[in-house]
Amino acid sequence: MDHCYVTYDRLERQHSRCVGRWTRVGLATSGPVHGVPVSTQWQAITTDPDENYEWEVTFPKPHVITLHSLS
């Protein structure tokens, strides 16, 4: 992944979106991935949200994320 973002809905539930290059079943792909489990160690990079009301967060690189489903 290259970038990860978090946002909150009206019920204050956290949602995530990551973009970049990733591998699934041995095939390299690029694009967005939704529903990535964000760790509490992933700190906000931006103070204010962007135009999509998302905050960019840090994440360990290289980072292996287990995805249960892709959107």
26: left (phi over 0), alpha (psi -120 to 50) or beta: left
**pTM greater than 0.85 (yes/no):** no
What domain count does the chain have? 1
Q: Do the beta carbons of residue 44 and residue 16 sit within 8 Å?
A: no
Element (H, E) at 17: strand 14-24
Residue 10 domain boundaries: 3-57
Residue 70 banded pLDDT, cuts 50, 70, 90: very low
CA 66 vs CA 11, 33, 70: distances in Å: 26, 11, 11
Instruction: Tell me whether residue 15 is in a domain.
Output: yes
Instruction: Tell me whether residue 71 is in a domain.
Output: no
Q: List, for residues 23-63, the tens digit of each pLDDT value.
A: 767 777 787 777 777 777 788 899 999 998 999 998 776 55
Residues paired with 29 in a beta bridge:
22
CA neighbor of 68 nearest in space, from 26, 30, 37, 27: 37
Instruction: Tell me whether residue 31 is in a domain.
Output: yes
